[in-house]
């Protein structure tokens, strides 16, 4: 967890400095290259300064992943809003290409998201992300009326398959064109299956604004029909304490 909420400008700047240095170390050598000592040397600050804001290395990795996730979600929203109409196919393509282009522009994240799966912080974040994305996707597709009758498990399966597809794309030497070809092939496979369950709206499309609103809303709690504003905010200052390393 982060030890302190960086309220003052100087504190926020220090946290940004730590995360920037962490990203550079991760780009150079992946998760194993990042230690509090190497981070302090790289950032030019005392180790004690890092411990003022983060409990340990895992907390730094978690904060970095949350920062990356916030950027990805912003890219996805922007991509969805650029679509003329949202069908299941156009939605899947926009989301997949937004993820792909983010990873292409930030290759240091590839080593963390897809190459650091033995690290507890990475495993925790990926599992939580998969569960949340599946719940949001399921809720958004149903509430916007794009499909009906699809198996309950299908959103979770698709999210997990997306994750494995990107692992396949990025953990091998490929050109950008080859990466995009794989992503679009996967999207076609996924959309072709989902179109079995598509409603008229799922084929003809709805406005991107309506779908983004549905995607941003919290999935309904089991046993309740209530929905509230989204609680997704990217980086949060305080998190559950993890064991020291």
Q: Residue 6's pLDDT is what? A: 53
**Location of each CATH 1.10.357 domain in the chain:** 64-216
pLDDT at 234 over 70: no
How would residue 67 be classed by pLDDT, with cut points 50, 70 and 90?
Answer: confident
pLDDT tens figures, 115-165: 766 678 788 888 888 898 899 999 999 999 999 999 999 999 999 999 999
Instruction: Identify the DSSP state of 148.
Output: -
How would residue 227 be classed by pLDDT, with cut points 50, 70 and 90?
Answer: very low
pLDDT at 231 over 70: no
**Location of each CATH 1.10.10.60 domain in the chain:** 1-55
pLDDT at 228 over 70: no
Tallying the residues shown for the chain, one arrives at 245
pLDDT tens figures, 134-144: 999 999 999 99
Can you tell me the distance from the alpha carbon of 65 to that of 12, in angstroms, rounded to the nearest whole number? 17
How would residue 114 be classed by pLDDT, with cut points 50, 70 and 90?
Answer: confident
How would residue 177 be classed by pLDDT, with cut points 50, 70 and 90?
Answer: very high
Contact 45, 66 (CB under 8 A): no
Percent of the chain scored above 70 by pLDDT? 84
CATH numeric code, 64-216: 1.10.357
pLDDT (average), residues 29-58: 91
Q: In CATH, which superfamily holds the domain spanning 1-55?
A: Homeodomain-like (1.10.10.60)
φ, ψ of residue 115 in degrees (nearest 5) = -110, 0
φ, ψ of residue 147 in degrees (nearest 5) = -150, 165
φ, ψ of residue 150 in degrees (nearest 5) = -70, 150
């Amino acid at each position: 967890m982060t030890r302190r909420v960086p309220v003052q400008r100087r504190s926020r700047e220090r946290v940004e400095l730590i995360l920037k240095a962490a990203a550079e170390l991760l780009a150079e050598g992946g998760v194993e290259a990042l230690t509090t000592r190497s981070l302090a040397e790289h950032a030019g600050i005392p180790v004690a300064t890092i411990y003022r804001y983060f409990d340990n290395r895992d907390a730094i990795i978690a904060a970095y992943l949350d920062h990356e996730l916030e950027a990805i979600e912003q890219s996805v929203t922007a991509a969805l809003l650029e679509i003329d109409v949202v069908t299941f196919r156009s939605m899947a393509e926009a989301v997949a290409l937004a993820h792909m282009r983010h990873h292409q522009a930030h290759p240091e994240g590839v080593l963390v998201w897809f190459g650091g799966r033995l690290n507890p912080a990475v495993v925790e974040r990926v599992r939580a992300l998969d569960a949340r994305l599946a719940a949001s996707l399921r809720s958004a597709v149903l509430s916007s009326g794009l499909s009906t009758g699809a198996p309950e498990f299908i959103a979770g399966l698709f999210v997990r398959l997306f994750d494995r597809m990107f692992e396949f794309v990025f953990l091998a030497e490929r050109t950008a064109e080859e990466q995009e070809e794989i992503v679009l092939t996967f999207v076609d496979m996924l959309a072709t299956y989902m179109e079995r369950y598509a409603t008229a709206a799922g084929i003809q499309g709805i406005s991107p604004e309506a779908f983004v609103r549905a995607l941003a809303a919290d999935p309904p709690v089991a046993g309740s029909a209530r929905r509230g504003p989204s609680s997704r905010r990217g980086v949060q200052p305080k998190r559950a304490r993890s064991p020291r390393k």
